[in-house]
Each structure stands twice: as C-alpha cells, then as structure tokens.
Structure 1
C-alpha cells in the first residue's frame, strides 16, 4: 500500500497541481478541506503518513487544526507541514510552537514540497522500523546506547553537551527547533540571553563532523534542525 498524504488546501486549482505532482512521487493523495474529515481519516487510515495544511482553510484555520491533530494521543508526533501566503516571522514561529514539522510560504514550487516531505518521512520511517536508538543520515551515525558518533566509520569525539545537543536534534529529525526550546531542554536554561551557547556548540559540532555538518541547518532567526 502506498503512503498517503492529506492535503488541506484552500485553492482548489493549486491543490490539484500539488496532487498531480506529489502523486508522481509514489504517494497516494487525498484532497480534504473539512477539518473533521481530516481528523477522522487520520484516526482510521494507517496509510496516512503526513498532512499538508493551508492556514486559511474555510471552516477552521490550519493552525488550530494542527494543534487539534497533535493533541490527539495517537498523533502526538505526526508530521504536519503548514503553509500560507504571508509567511511572516510571526506565522513561522507560531507554526513551530504548535509542533509543525515545517512551514512553507506560498507560492512555492511543488518539487520543493516533495523534497521536504521526503526528508521528514525519511527519519520517521527509520524510527518506526527500528527499536534501537541509532540515527543515521548518510555517512553520519549517532548511537545513543553506545554514546558514540561516527562519520564514515570513524568515531568523532564530542563533549557531553555536544552529544546531548546532537541527540536532541536527531530525535526531532527534520523539525526546526527554536533556540529557546534547545536551551531549556538541553541545558535547562530559561534565559534567551544564553542563546550564544547554542551557536557555539553547533559550530563546534560542525567542525568536528566535517562535510556532514551541512546536515545541521541554521534557520536564521529561529533555531536549528538536523536534516
């Protein structure tokens, strides 16, 4: 059975364009704009792997629907991508605070959306298929049990906090993590004045893991993600 993606898009013409393009990527596409129908489908159809939501849906905006989806016990970590035509800093921050996996400003290229979907699902599938706490991206491997990180089989020496930071991002692969969240969860800080601490550790990790550092993405003004 093909993986299914639900698209909740207010522009019917663009929705059809997305459906045709994503369908070519071996996904089954469902175009649904009714919030209750989307939630019912998520609860009943195990083939659904991701939802793309326009924030301007007619009966319930995408932000509230995203919040409602992720509040359900069976969908706490469900991948949701939010989109809208404004794409302001406030919109992006709100999407991330709600737990969305990604946020894309409209108009966007369907190919970009497909690539983002594949990146998000890559680690999602690996996590569900493996009980071992091992994360792999290309030549990069993080083994939580062994407390080891390696690139091309060569072990990388990280400090305790560098490892904790990398593990935190690996567990949330593909999702943008705000600096405030990282500071609180990794260091236990509530003061954003210490945000430079995160920057410094990211720089050190990139230097140590070499070319694989490209997978540690800086989202300017927001935070970081492992992709």
Structure 2
C-alpha cells in the first residue's frame, strides 16, 4: 500500500497532537513533520513535497491562505480553523473540506475519508479558491488570476498566467503551452478563456486560444482567415470568424 506523506501545520501544539492521534487510525498516512507558523510551513512543504497537509488558517508569520500562495505545487489540503466565518462560507461554496475547531473524531474521519475517496485528483473547490486568491484585488473592474492551477496527481501545480503563450483543446480538457513547456489542464478551452483577461488573450479558433503578445506575424490563408506565427516558431490557424477581431488588436 502506498502511503500518503502528510504535514500537520497549526500554531497550537494540542491541535497538532489531536490530528496525529486521530490520523493514527488510518494506515494510509505517514506524518513527516509538524510546523507552528506560516513561514516554517512554506519551507517544510517545499522540502517534503507532501501529498496531504492539515493546514490551520490563522497563524503567526503567514496565514494558511498566504502559505498556499507561496507554493509552486499545492498538495491536497484539509483546512483546520477555530473561527473565520467568511473562510468557512468560501470553503462551503467551493466544496473545500475543513475542520472547524473543536471537532470530534467522527468529523475528522469524514474529512479524511472524503479525501481518500478521490485520491487521484485535487479538489476542484481548492483549485477555484487558489485562483480567486491569486487574482489582484480590484474595485469595479473584473479581476483575473495571475496564476492558474493544474492537477498533477493529488497535487496542484501553479502556472503563471504571464508565461502562457497559447492553449489548444484536448477533448474535454486543454493543453496550456507556456514559455517553459506544456501542462494539461482539467479546464475546457472555453472555461480557460473565461479565466483569462480578454485584453491579453484571444480565442482565434474554436479549439485555440493565444496570448496576444506571443503573436509575431499573420499570414492570410486565402479563405478569409490567417496563419499566426507565435513565439517559438509555432503556427496556429486563425479562423475567419475570429480573424477580423484579431488583426486590429495587434496594431
């Protein structure tokens, strides 16, 4: 049996001990380390690359939210909190599990079994929450995340939006091409488009989305569309439907 490596992060020693005691009933987990503040938590997560983290929200140094925003790879998270009703409402809306202190063994086991029931994919609610937190604070104008998160097994991996050059549909999902490589996203091409700033990204085909600053040249295809040459000497088709929208945006 492959065991899930685990960290326990909470500024209260009794709270960490309780997680250890309750977790001992599950042979699927192995606890690697504990942390009592947010700064140590970031270092420990980067060092151990755990599968699962029990994460407090209100901590010295960095909050649980701030810890997550420091990470390039985000493990499966079970949040632990003594209060903060706003956060609980956000978790409920996004289906992110949490343990509200004081919790009992039954509630703890519910959270753990929910995680074990779907160990191969990150919680979609956590993915949505991270992208919401990664969006700059705005007033009336829409805001868009500066990082997207794609599943890698049980973890989520951050993809800086500024690094995205283009994306293509891959069935119900899409492949995001960055200036360092490619990532398979669990979003469809339309859902990805909705997460990105339309002033910076444009749909050029029903299956293709490009970053405007990655387009180097346009060549007419003879049927009302274009071939767009992107950074890295990659070429994508611009269908006639989108051609007249793209050309003025490139100046």
> Normalising TM by the smaller chain, what interval?
0.3 to 0.5
Structure with more of its chain in helix, by fraction:
1
Structure with more of its chain in strand, by fraction:
2
Task: Tell me which structure has the larger Cα radius of gyration.
Answer: 2
**Greater relative contact order (Cα < 8 A, sep 6+):** 1
TM-score (norm 1): 0.46
